[in-house]
Structure 1
Amino acid sequence: MATKGPPKKKIKKIKTTVEEINDVKQEILGTVIAQLKSIDGEATGSPLSLPANVTPEQLELLINQLLNNDEPLPYAFSVDDKEITNTLYNDIIQGLKKSTEDVLTIVYQPQAIFRVRAVTRCTSTLSGHTDAILSISFSPDGAQLATGSGDTTVRIWDLNTETPHFTCKGHANWVLYISWSPNGKILASGSMDKTVILWDPTTGRPLGDPLKGHTQWITCLAWEPQHLYGTIRIWDTTLRRVVMNMSQHTAAVTYIKWGGDGLLYSASRDKTIKVWNATQGTLIRTLEGHGHWVNTMALSTDFVLRTGAFDHTGRIPKDENEAQEWALARYKAVVGNKPERLVSGSDDFTMFFWEPSTSKKSIARLTGHQKLVNHVCFSPDGHLFASASFDNSVKLWDGFTGKFIASLRGHVGPVYQVCWSSDSRLLISASKDSTLKIWDLKTKQIKLDLPGHFDEIFSVDWSPSGEKVASGGKDRQLKIWRN
């Protein structure tokens, strides 16, 4: 007679669903007390008890509920300038060595509703210039593209057929800088021949004679912001004469900016930046601190001042009054309740971070680059800015505090210029090493490497719509890149 074996033990079923695993994680990791605050420092609601493993997606749902948003909006979240990309526990508790017993301040900031896709391929290589391309600029609505070259010409390109539309001749020396008026109806060019020429982009013809008055090369141009319209020498483009001559610098002026609050900023080889009243032409204050030439400046409102009434929706104002209203609304949305911020870069390897409308004292001195700082650029939303240096690197900085965030390394030659996508999520850099690189701001890593040029790339621009990138340099070729 067969004997029965020992009774079988009942095996307890293991939880395997994602929800059950998350429940177990939450029990193990516990909860944290957190206060949600806007980027402006305003508390939203009372402190909350949150799961330690809360994700950005869950925080996004929460903040949309707390703000009573009719349509859910995308947000980014950070603690002590460290972004939450995985979970609060992984990025903050472990990453910043915080305790679950600490009261955490989680800062939220809105992201662009639309998303720009990275350009991935060169769709056209456009020849025509017979010398290096020195300046590239899309029009504010992104419908037109202009280039300035060492061959003394300005070219306006047809972006539909990707062919030359007009070759604008009039300068007698290198065209160093081109700039569109915020309404896109006039293109200005500055040259080594010491003149400014205004062009009609619909015909390619000059609007009158060249504007004369400078005694040295013209390296930068700045238009009055659209929301300030009524229409460093200030030219009345209608009367074609100099309105003011601001001449208190003791060396060459290298860069100028026209702010949205009626102030002008001029950077110089005399190591200073001067702040001017644009209406009266009077000097308001001098910003000092740099130990060598000031090469470049950027304003936190640069993108919205450049694009005026035009945004990603493609809507077109019915007249100049409506355009001015839209431009003002866009400007106010970017500024919020803070003053415009300015960053300056120098041959002394440093940058200074300023609120020049309120004080001549800098907020921060920014160090880290090992060679001269060639270019700085704020993200369209003003939350970040990037710096390009001859030390082969790009660095990222907080747009409100100037705090260092990350170094972007990958170029093997000096970086000449950087430019942001209109949604502030991507950055492109142009280098002496003949490559463009697109950086993902979430991972702080190279997203795409874009070879194709045969020599140094001096200039790059990303269209305001985000669909195209244009680049040019020493090889005399204009390249159009699309996604």
Structure 2
Amino acid sequence: MTNTQDSEVETKSILCRFKSESGEIAGDMMDLPLSCTVEQLTLICNAILQNEEPVPYLFYANETEIKKSLESTLDINTLNTESVLDIVYEQQAIFKVHPVTRCTASIPGHAEAVISVSFSPDGRHLASGSGDTTVRFWDVLTQTPYKTCKGHNNWVLCIAWSPDSTKLASACKDGNIIIWSPENGAQLGKTMKGHKQWVTSLSWEPFHKNSECRYLASSSKDGDVRIWDTIMCTTIRTLSSHTKSVTVVRWGGSGLIYSASQDRSIKVWRAADGALCRTLEGHAHWVNTLALNTDYINRIGPFDPVKDTNKVISAENKDKLQEFALKRYEGVVATAGERLVSGSDDFTLFLWDPHKEKKPLARLTGHQQLVNDVKFSPDGRILASASFDKSIKLWEAKTGKFLGTLRGHVQAVYMVSFSADSRLLVSGSSDSTLKLWNIKSRQIEFDLPGHADEVYAVDWSTDGSRVASGGKDKVLKLWQN
């Protein structure tokens, strides 16, 4: 009897159709055997879409990823073979980032702790900000110090690259903001003053909104968010509504600015006129961190870090590149819009649809201590949150569903950074190590010791080739495969 049932299952087929993430039907309906594998689905999908080069896809049936075959994903007993099964396909990253396995350079230079490290969107430059009041540019290829920028008189707390990679903004504990040229380390324009206390975060207007890369938002302990014209070096707008220190600001791709504060709220502002659109409430303590599912796409702007490492933006090709950046942004927000996640001292995260809703879509619980950092994977599918409870948790970005915990650090985890293909994650911790995690297996791939003290900052280059880290030991380290 069992043999007959087995053979029935083997020969059973189901009526299917392929559907894109945004809901477009591809090709006609077809009968597929339940034994159809992911490899076979990939071949069929590529044929239907008439792709010249084969493209790797992820497939979902009833919101569950098909990992082996249709049979192993679907519940055969409850399956209605009369109805049509939608198989949703999502394009995977074409390239594969190799895991970083060793430290290739330990570069001294800073005289105090390295507080921030950041690769430029085009992957050609690397910058760091330190407690020694300087900003430094490093030569990525020769792995040596390149330029030291002096202009601040207090700790440099945050840095941010313009989306066209031509300018770096830095802000310090005195509340001053300076724009630098990565080519020669020169200060561009005058020091921008206005904040009454230290600046906590910087965010540029995305390239697809303005290819001039002229406007910058800053948040401060003084409770204000300011929008700056970085060419005139003046404040155009002050957004005041928070009652306590603003911890982070994010300039979204749809013309909205998001700010989080120690007053436990997140505010959504219209960048064009500074109007307050809505206040998002729910956290029981300070909101420390914000991330958008469009952060990566907004960060790389007009660049495709894998293909065009030498792309130069000229006045002639700006319009074309702006269109390219806009199309890519629209591709990311086509399915779920611009999603926001917030992490707090109350140990929780909230997932928001900030364009429409004041209420959170989901409350993400499980951390035992404050949430320090949160990032969406570049493909927008996964959320990673780092906490003082020594763990990193992974969540489904669309629903907030808990996926798993990454354990291995023995002290607080300060910061995480995804590889450009979303397959790997690197974390920096108070335990003086970096750890490299495999997102699929949720295991440590490599332990990266080497720092002599707490690791405050970590960044994975946009082309996936290297990781930079810095911390209390004043040394900048580069890690490669």
1:342, 1:29 → 2: CA distance? 44
In structure 2, the partner of 1:73 is 55
1:357 aligns with 2:338: no
In structure 2, the partner of 1:331 is 329
98 and 432 in structure 1: CA distance in 2 versus 1, 3 angstrom threshold: farther
Structure 1 residues 31-87: Cα deviation after superposition (integer angstroms, max 9, x where no partner) = 353554433345545665444443221221122223333322111123455433334
Q: Alpha-carbon deviation of 1:390?
A: 1.2
Q: Mapping of 1:102-113 within 5 angstroms?
A: 102=80, 106-113=87-94
1:287 aligns with 2:280: yes
In structure 2, the partner of 1:213 is 194
- Note if contact 1:75-1:110 (Cα within 8 Å) is conserved in structure 2: yes
Taking structure 2 as the reference length, the TM-score comes to 0.89
Higher deviation after alignment, 213-222 or 67-76: 67-76
Taking structure 1 as the reference length, the TM-score comes to 0.89
In structure 1, the partner of 2:220 is none
Aligned partner of 1:303: which letter?
Answer: Y
SS in 1 for 2:77: coil
SS in 2 for 1:395: strand
1:150, 1:72 → 2: CA distance? 49
Structure 2 unpaired stretches of 5+: 215-224
In structure 1, the partner of 2:68 is 86
168 and 375 in structure 1: CA distance in 2 versus 1, 3 angstrom threshold: same
Q: Mapping of 1:407-426 within 5 angstroms?
A: 407-426=405-424
Aligned to 1:249, which of 232, 235, 242? 242
Aligned partner of 2:112: which letter?
Answer: D
**Larger CA Rg, structure 1 vs 2:** 1
| Percent identity for Structure 1 against Structure 2 | 54
1:456 aligns with 2:437: no
Structure 1 residues 415-450: Cα deviation after superposition (integer angstroms, max 9, x where no partner) = 111111111222111111222222222222222222
2:6, 2:35 → 1: CA distance? 8
Q: Alpha-carbon deviation of 1:255?
A: 0.3
1:412, 1:46 → 2: CA distance? 54
Q: Mapping of 1:112-123 within 5 angstroms?
A: 112-123=93-104
In structure 2, the partner of 1:313 is 307
SS in 1 for 2:192: coil
2:297, 2:99 → 1: CA distance? 21
Q: Mapping of 1:47-446 within 5 angstroms?
A: 48-79=30-61, 82-90=64-72, 92=73, 99=77, 101-102=79-80, 106-229=87-210, 231=214, 232-311=225-304, 312-314=306-308, 315-319=311-315, 320-446=318-444
392 and 29 in structure 1: CA distance in 2 versus 1, 3 angstrom threshold: farther
Structure 1 residues 157-185: Cα deviation after superposition (integer angstroms, max 9, x where no partner) = 01121111111111111111000111111
1:455, 1:195 → 2: CA distance? 28
1:62, 1:27 → 2: CA distance? 24
1:410, 1:25 → 2: CA distance? 43
Aligned partner of 1:342: which letter?
Answer: L
Aligned partner of 1:83: which letter?
Answer: E
Q: Alpha-carbon deviation of 1:125?
A: 0.6
CA RMSD of aligned residues (A): 2.1
SS in 1 for 2:283: coil
- Note if contact 1:147-1:154 (Cα within 8 Å) is conserved in structure 2: yes
- Note if contact 1:26-1:53 (Cα within 8 Å) is conserved in structure 2: no
SS in 2 for 1:220: strand
Q: Alpha-carbon deviation of 1:195?
A: 0.7
Q: Could you say which structure has the higher strand fraction? A: 2
Aligned residues: 456
